[in-house]
Amino acid sequence: MYLGLDLGTSEIKAVVIDGEGQLLASAGEPLEVSRPQPHWAEQNPDDWWQATQRAVGRLRQKLPQQWAEIRAIGLSGQMHGAVLLSRDGRVLRPAILWNDTRSAAQCEQLTQAAPELHEVAGNLAMPGFTAPKLLWVARHEPQIFEQTATVLLPKDYLRWMMSGEKVSEMSDAAGTLWLDVAKRDWSDSLLAACGLSRDQMPRLVEGSDVSATLKNDIARAWGLRDDVIIAGGGGDNAASAVGIGAVTPGDAFISLGTSGVLFAVNDRFRPNPQSALHAFCHALPNSWHQMSVMLTAASALRWYCTLIGSNETTLLAEIAQLSPAQQRQAPLFLPYLSGERTPHNDPQATGVFHGMTHSTDRATLGYSVLEGVAFGMADGLAVMQQAGTQLQQCSLVGGGARSDRWAQLVSDALDLPIVTHTGGEAGGALGAARLGWLAAGGDFAEACRKPEIARRFQPQAENRDMLRERLHTYRQLYQQQVALRNA
């Protein structure tokens, strides 16, 4: 059996699969994000570790007879975060997360200091990436920067706690802006531009390789053998791709989690940074991917539910009762609650409801939120198409995949067939478990097969013209926001 751990922004998720790839059990533990100042988003790494131990304990209770048969652990996690360790292994400050946008000024600093950045890293310098975060720390917290002996990504902090080994893998490391993505190795010049060296970086392995072994004391505490291996794993989206079998060129998926992602597999490094597309290594050897990212997706729905004092199930049921005429008259929603990455690269972008009247009710605004996120994904698809990538179908994973209403809306807005999968809600945790299976010698075709399709959603022609018109206005609203800001 194989254990997959996915360190998300809002929860740590853990799953167990057997030697045939069947999902046997899952458990989740919630996490909170601290926002002590505008544009800041932080978490305490110790909270990740405590939540991980609780999730593992719950899985152990669910599988008391089979638990000891676990042979490997895979890791997945939120990308771009910065965990700073001292020489003696102390966490020096709260981890700065992927959706923290405080380092906008440092992006320009990095671009000027490293003219080779776009060619080597394959991406624009954006506040979400790890490198600008370290430049911010160097500028605003120099005493912390001077004590930093190691920089770890979030999931790799869990690996360090589990094994005592400081290791990362290619897909997550590609999101730091310190990796030579084509060569799959740290770039000394990009590190130097941030005042760092490879001595402060973790060792690199491929996601399907063995990275470490579970420490004896952790193995005993968790009730596992002392020879359980830990796979390299993957960044959350690369691991999710493995989980739904997106492992060959042309495969694609959309993830509606805290953030929204459109992910397409490539057979080579295909950077196109001027379009705000990301180009990263995949979690599998000799494989890369392009990725469009919006910073607020399912988290917009959670935000709105909190605002109105409702829950997602109740709200989605109310939205389902709206007529086509009510949808056409719904306000437009710009989902930029944390700024935006693709296609705008704009940390100052803000959320907007536009077009409210006395007849606007909470269900109508709820529809606006779903539609606004779907339009954000349509913007990502347009950018990907401009870069020469054509998609025939997308899988849908993440929390948003639980809503048939949202899945159909995404299909209509993108004019693209959408499929959901049995077990697709396991996302990165399932992919992490599969990478553990591969590291333990599992067959590639078995470990990376596509899971069973649960539902298919075809674009509905009757909605296409209405959504295209609303998407056009949606895009104009953002341009008006920029114009007002620059006035």
Answer yes or no: 236 catalytic.
yes
Question: Cβ distance 217 to 202 under 8 Å?
Answer: no
Three-state secondary structure call for residue 244: coil
Any residues with CB less than 8 A from the CB of 417 and at least 6 apart, and which? 392, 393, 394, 411, 456, 457, 458, 459
Gyration radius (Cα) of the chain, Å: 21
Residues in a beta bridge with 13: 6, 28
CA atoms within 13 A on the CB side of 413: 25
Neighbours of 459 (CB within 10 A): 18
Residues of the binding site for substrate: 79-80
Q: Residues for the chain: how many in total?
A: 487
**Which position among 6, 236, 251, 379 bears the catalytic label?**
236
Contact by Cβ (8 Å): 40, 127: no
Secondary structure (3-state) at 256: strand
Q: At CA 168, angle to CA 283 and CA 152, rounded to 5?
A: 135
Nearest to 26 by CA among 18, 17, 15: 15
Residues 440, 472: Cα–Cα separation, whole Å: 50
DSSP state string for 262-327: EEEEESS----GGGT-EEEE-SSTT-EEEEEEES-SHHHHHHHHHHHT--HHHHHHHHTT--HHHH
CA-to-CA distance for 373 and 294, rounded, in angstroms? 9
Q: What is the DSSP letter of 164?
A: S
Pairing verdict, β 394-397 and 352-354: unpaired
Contact of 444 with 438, CB cutoff 8 Å: yes
* CB proximity list for 325: less than 8 A, separation 6 or greater: none
Residues comprising the binding site?
A: 79-80
One-letter amino acid for residue 117 of the chain = L
Q: Token pair of 393, please?
A: 């179908």
Catalytic residue positions, numbered: 236
